[in-house]
Amino acid sequence: MLKVTGNGSITTCDGITRRDFLQVGALGAIGLSMSHLATLKAAGAVTQGHDEKAVIMIFNLGAPSQLDTWDMKPDAPREIRGPFKPIKTNNPDIQISEIFPLHAKLADKFSLVRTCYHTAAAVHDTGHQMLQTGRLFTGGVNTPHAGCALEYLKGRKTDLPAHIILPEPMGPTGGNLPHGQDGGFLGKAYDPFVLNADPAKKDFKVPDLLPPSEIGEARLQRRRELRQVVDDTVKSFEASPDARLMDVNFQSAYRLMTSTQAREAFNLTKEPEKVRERYGMTRFGQCCLLARRLVEAGVRFVTINTFITVFDEITWDIHGSKPFTSIAGMKDIVAPMYDKGYSALIEDLVQRGMLDNTLVCNLAEFGRTPKINPAGGRDHWPQCWTSYFAGGGIKGGRVVGKSDDIGAYPVERPVKPSEVVATIFHSLGLDLEAHLPGPNARPFPLVDFGTRPIMELF
């Protein structure tokens, strides 16, 4: 992954060695291999602005309790229904938890899928993989993130990368498996661009995307020297077609670093203070605002990790005992910032006329146990949980699927992770029968045969 850090370092661009750059540097930074760039251009797949579809994937790492959020069971026994009450929304067909009052005003904009499930192990990593790639990591096959597959199939629209992860990739969550947030078997060239910084901090900036006058002469000189290294290398095999493609790739990487468009997209100080405050001056809230700016600037896919790990902060992982929180802790700590950030994002997209072309999907790796545990929390439960979607062709105010009386199992319209990912691809207008170059260069289907989107949402 190309990482941009808050202290001003880009791992592939400033002060790197000649070997580092030639191994992966610029090619990985721009997300295009040399041969595929030529293929995309020949096929006309690198669009020039006419394709406006985009996705903002909010991944609720830790997994919210369906019974305390989107699929409440107020008539169940207390040890099942939990401490919260359902509230009315602006859609008479939907009730949600009282901990999301701002969501309640937007229930006509999003639709719920209350019957997501999977049959793999009840550990965070497996759910992360399946909900972002459509497949479980098995047999050594690491399927690329949906945003990485999109970049392979459609390229980028602007100087900015096609897929960006905010604020940073998922960290440890108790397992040793891939989280599904990289290019997988497509290779490093299709890894997402990663911010690796907290946009809520007062000193947040992306220094290596600043204009030359602010970069400083010393750093600018290093860039010139790096360019000279590449120029010299290109001359050594300039008779090869790959030489010209390498130069094109370097130009693209260099353009990203010096691009006014990229610099402006990341510059949150361009937003009125009232707008920033509406999103909430939290890491999640400012990531939502930054995601809107990036999509507006032409980024095709933005993944927001609501949390990074389940160990170092209070998250949706409400086991009750320390270092985790209880159900009540979720209400006091997690829900307010989440409710504020998401509602501001949807309202902003509506006001700017962007929601129709921007799918906002809120996903999680599994649900929580129907019965509250002795510590006052709920444990892992992949048998049933809720995901929800807005924009991108989705009809708001709908409920797909029905769980049983205690929110434990689907009783109508069960939905597999692969169907969730197929829904994302469908919203983007991708051909579900397309193939990727899989392991050993064999064609690998974008979705498994017979997997269909959740068409009830459209």
pLDDT of residue 451: 97
pLDDT of residue 99: 98
pLDDT of residue 203: 85
Kindly list the averaged pLDDT for each block of 10 residues, start to end, along the chain of length 458.
Answer: 46 37 37 42 40 95 98 97 97 96 98 98 97 94 97 93 96 91 94 94 73 54 67 59 49 64 91 97 98 97 97 94 91 96 98 98 98 97 98 98 98 98 98 94 94 98
Domains, the chain, ranges and CATH?
1-30+206-266 (no CATH), 51-196+274-457 (3.40.720.10)
The tokens describing 200, both together, are 């809520």
CA distance 439 to 441: 5
pLDDT of residue 223: 62
